[in-house]
Structure 1
Amino acid sequence: MASSGPRSQRADWQRNHERLLAAARPLVARDGAQVSLEQVAREAGVGSATLHRHFPSRRALLDEVFREAVEHLRRRGDELVDGDPGAGLLTWLEELTVAAVETRGLTASLEADADGGPSSAADCHGVVREATVHLMDRALAAGAVRPGTSPDDLLALVTAISLANEGNPAAARRLLRLACDGVRP
């Protein structure tokens, strides 16, 4: 006989939460901030009421998907510091570009919807900038980047490429590689 106590309720709640996030990630990548909450619930195999118990608003769902993406980027930045400085920076810029392409509209939506509290988009910018500065400093010291190139130059480049290639990570990667050829000494 299965237990229906608090432990099984928490496990069931966690399972549903993970299913909702797993369903939301590709839908957000495809549809951006306008993702259909009903479709997320359908893809997760739960009802709309369950979705709303976990995420009382679209903002709450998008915020958690965004936080996961930012945490992944933070970990990748930390991992890339230990390798070849030039390759690490290029890998970082490619992964950052693809992440931006796959979360199109999400940053702007979260910034526009901020209610005076800390913005997930602002947190993301801080994480991304810190990792870019660190990787860029290493690449400059190793002579892998043209002197005078700044982290803000590279972030502007990533932003422009990702906006111009929404929904097309392969094209974004190709354009980034072309642009990075001009950044190398």
Structure 2
Amino acid sequence: MTTSKPRAPRADGTRNREQLLEVATRVLASPGAETSMRAIAREAGVGIATLYRHFPTRESLVEAVYRDQVVRLTHGARELLDTLAPAAALRCWMDLFGNWIATKNGMLDTLLALIESGTVGHADTRDELLNAISSLLDAGRAAGDLRPDVTAEEVATSLIGIFTVAPQAGPAVTADRLLDILLDGLRPQARHS
């Protein structure tokens, strides 16, 4: 009896899936954008059947976007540390985190239903994100760029606060400015005697 290995996805199928994820991420992040499956397929330049072949339901698409963004955040921390000083890597990662938060605009209801059903593990995601922040903080501490007394939980809570409040504060307060202030507060302070 011969067992066959599962076939590797075709290159065009992989490309279509990546294009669909990219477009869905962008569309779902846009406030007030049309978030129908048909609109996502149209913008990705594929037929609706192709979208449904990769993502049979809206829930499966939202879950894939969510998981893709978490992977980008966790891998992003390592990649940034490979190319930037720790404090600069942390600041760039804060922008990635903001993009991740923004992605939830058009998928919040579906995402909450996925979390409630246990399809998406909120605790697992939280742990992955805290580990990414910890790696940035640890590198910053080792380099002397970041304070030793700040926890990943404190940074995560600050980021959620910034990205929740800044859009409602009006044009005078921007998330970028608040992130810069946060980063300044994470730097070691000179001690005066």
Which TM-score applies when normalising by structure 1? Answer: 0.75
With over 3 angstroms needed to count, the CA separation of the structure-2 counterparts of 1:108 and 1:12, relative to structure 1, is: same
- What residue number does 1:4 align with? none
Q: Which amino acid aligns with 1:56?
A: P
CA separation in 2, counterparts of 1:136 and 1:32? 36
1:87-126 counterparts in 2 under 5 A?
87-104=88-105, 106=107, 109-114=110-115, 116-119=117-120, 121-126=122-127
Cα distance in 2, alignment partners of residues 149 and 174 from structure 1: 20
Unaligned runs of 5+ in 2: 1-6
Deviations 1:130-163 (CA, angstroms, capped at 9, x unpaired)? 0111211232343323343221111011111112
User: Within the alignment, does 1:70 sit opposite 2:70 as a pair?
Assistant: yes
Change (3 A) 1:124 1:162: same
**Contact 2:27/2:34, CA 8 A, preserved across alignment:** no
Which protein has greater RCO, CA pairs closer than 8 Å, 6+ apart? 1
CA RMSD of aligned residues (A): 3.3
Q: Distance in 2 between matches of 1:86 and 1:42?
A: 40
SS at match of 1:63: helix
Question: Which residue type is aligned with residue 69 of structure 2?
Answer: A
Cα 1:24–1:178 change in 2 (3 A) is same
What percent of counterpart residues are identical?
36
| Residue segments in structure 1 that go unaligned for 5+ positions in a row | 1-6
- C-alpha separation in 2, matches of 1:32 and 1:131: 31
* C-alpha contact (below 8 Å) 1:140/1:147 kept by paired residues: yes
Structure 2 length-normalised TM: 0.72
Where does residue 138 of structure 1 map in the other structure? 139
